[in-house]
Amino acid sequence: MRLDKFIGHATDLTRSQIHQLIRQGAVAINHETARKAAQHIHTDDVVTVNSEVVQPLGVRYFMLNKPTGYVCANHDGEHPTVLDLLNEPNKSNLQIVGRLDIDTTGLVLLTDDGQWNHQVTSPRRECSKIYRVTTANAIDAHTADQFSKGLLLHGEKKPTQPAELQLLTSHSALLTIHEGKYHQIKRMFAAVGNQVVALHRERIGEILLDADLQPGEYRSLTAPEIASV
Ligand code: URA
């Protein structure tokens, strides 16, 4: 990889800042001052900027406990984004794996591994997602049956795939779905005459939201979590 690309990938420095630092002699490769932005870097080379080692950025995988009020987008003119909660370099490389609405809380996965993102979100793999749902009205005794059979949502041509509803209280339940249509859970409850007042994602596939993460906190995924997909 080119020297300027390597530094750009691993830090928040812009291309022009990197070029300027190279011109100033602030960048070194294996303790030798680097002179050319296009110089090739090998995997065992040690690159420093102002004597600080630049750690090569591997592929990253994070779980975040999303609070309300944050949007799952890389940029938004109006609201803070989930990326604002991460203290990481080069956040623009990160992809949000399956989005949540602004008022939904809980598990959000982020990665710069596009293939992994695709594996989690691909409809063909049917990766299950578990949500804790709180509703405005008591959940009707027939709702679990209706969800397990599939419902035709407003504006859709095909019914929803079978989903499993497990009642927790009169107004709350765990709902497992195997797809991710726009506002799916809110629309499913609307279709049976109820309304979602709070929605929290607890699990994606085998990856469970870490109970130690407070709203707004995040951590790297473990190797088994990454491999579970
Ligand atoms: N279904 C919804 O309606 N909203 C979400 O954020 C996720 C699933």
* Per-residue pLDDT reduced to its tens digit, 125-157: 879 999 999 999 999 999 999 999 999 998 899
Domain boundaries, the chain: 3-53, 58-124+216-229, 128-204
From 101, 105, 107, 135, the mutation candidate for ligand 1 (largest count of ligand atoms within 8 A of CB) is 101
pLDDT number for residue 154? 86
**Could you confirm whether domain 3-53 is CATH 3.30.450.20?**
no
Which tens digit of pLDDT belongs to each residue from 46-102?
Answer: 999 999 999 877 789 999 999 999 999 999 999 999 999 999 988 988 999 999 999
Distance 184 CA to ligand 1 centre (A): 5
The model's pTM is: 0.85
Mean pLDDT to the nearest integer, 159-179 = 97
Protein residue with its CA nearest to atom 7 in ligand 1: 100
| Nearest-angstrom CA–CA distance, 24 and 107 | 44
Same fold, 3-53 and 128-204: no
Q: Mention every residue, 6+ apart, whose C-beta is less than 8 A from residue 138.
A: 170, 171
Q: Is 101 considered catalytic here? A: yes
Q: Coil, helix or strand for 15?
A: helix
Architecture of domain 58-124+216-229: 2-Layer Sandwich (3.30)
pLDDT number for residue 1? 85
Task: Judge whether 89 and 12 are in contact, CB under 8 Å.
Answer: yes
**Could you confirm whether domain 128-204 is CATH 3.40.50.1100?**
no
